[in-house]
Amino acid sequence: MKSANLTKILALGIILGIGMVGCKRTPKGLTPIPGTKPSVTETEAKPKPPAPSPTENVKPVNTGNDVESADVDTGDGIPLPTAEMFEGMIKDTNTFKANTVYFDFDSSVIKSSEQSKIEEVGQHLKDNPGHKLLIEGHCDERGTEEYNRALGERRALSIREYLANMGIDPQRIRTLSWGEDRPADPAHNEEAWAKNRRGEFSLLLPPENQ
């Protein structure tokens, strides 16, 4: 009788021992996930792709300046120049930095307070027939991207038309629209938006000025 009980006790001990060796306990509060999970070291070792530059993929709108023929206009009867007419010219962004033209909200109409800035640029072009001009139109962040690109184009073209009416050959003037992509002030308030609704000038100099 004692021998049978001893045998049962030994058998039970063996079974419990095997169970403890063969099973891993899950830490309290955690649920095991099927499959192999990479370690923290392996995950952190993988290099993260660099964040894209805010202006890396920004491209200016083609307002018609890169067409093959100059016999194209924008609806105002003023033909646009070809890109070849500006090849090799040097971009000077400082000369007319103080002449930036500002616009009212959702408008491409040149205000009377801004006209003297354009007239100063026009006089320079009259005095220097070898110089040309780039006008870049900008908007604030309100409105869709597509709408702001079109509005920036209208602003640049309205300045170009003003210069043409001064007697400046429009073939010397190129325009681009950046829409809302290049704000002068990145803040999100009325003061910043007023700075961003603008048309900027860059003087284009012939290669001999390099």
Per residue in 145-202, pLDDT tens?
999 999 999 999 999 999 999 999 999 999 999 999 999 999 999 999 999 999 999 9
Cα torsion for 106, 110, 113, 116, to the nearest 10°? 150
Amino acid letter, 116: S
Instruction: Give the largest Cα separation in the chain, rounded.
Output: 126
Closest CA to 138 of 149, 127, 125: 149
Per residue in 18-75, pLDDT tens?
554 444 444 443 334 344 444 433 333 334 344 333 322 233 333 333 322 233 345 4
CA distances from 52 to 93, 106, 148, 178 (A): 26, 30, 22, 18
Q: Where are the domains of the chain?
A: 83-209
Pull the structure tokens for residue 144: 């869709």
Q: Give 4's pLDDT tier (boundaries 50, 70, 90).
A: low
Helices 115-127 and 145-165, interaxial angle, to 10°?
60
Residues 117-148 as b/e (b if ≥16 CB within 10 A, e otherwise) read bbeebbebbeeeeebbbbbbbbbbbebeeeeb
CA distances from 194 to 79, 82, 121, 160, 197 (A): 31, 32, 22, 21, 6
| 3-state SS class at 17 | helix
Q: How far from chain centre, in Å, is Cα 28?
A: 50
Q: Specify the pairing of strand 173-179 against strand 132-138.
A: parallel
Q: Which helix (H) or strand (E) holds 135?
A: strand 132-138
10 Å CB burial of residue 64 (0-12, 13-18, 19+) is: middle
Pull the structure tokens for residue 120: 């100063």
Residues sharing a CB contact under 8 Å with residue 141, sequence separation 6 or more, in sequence order: 148, 180, 183, 188, 193, 196
Which of these CATH numbers, 3.50.50.60, 3.30.1330.60, 3.40.30.10, 3.40.50.80, describes 83-209? 3.30.1330.60
- Supply the pTM of this predicted model: 0.65
DSSP designation for 168: -
Q: Mean pLDDT across the stretch 105-109?
A: 97
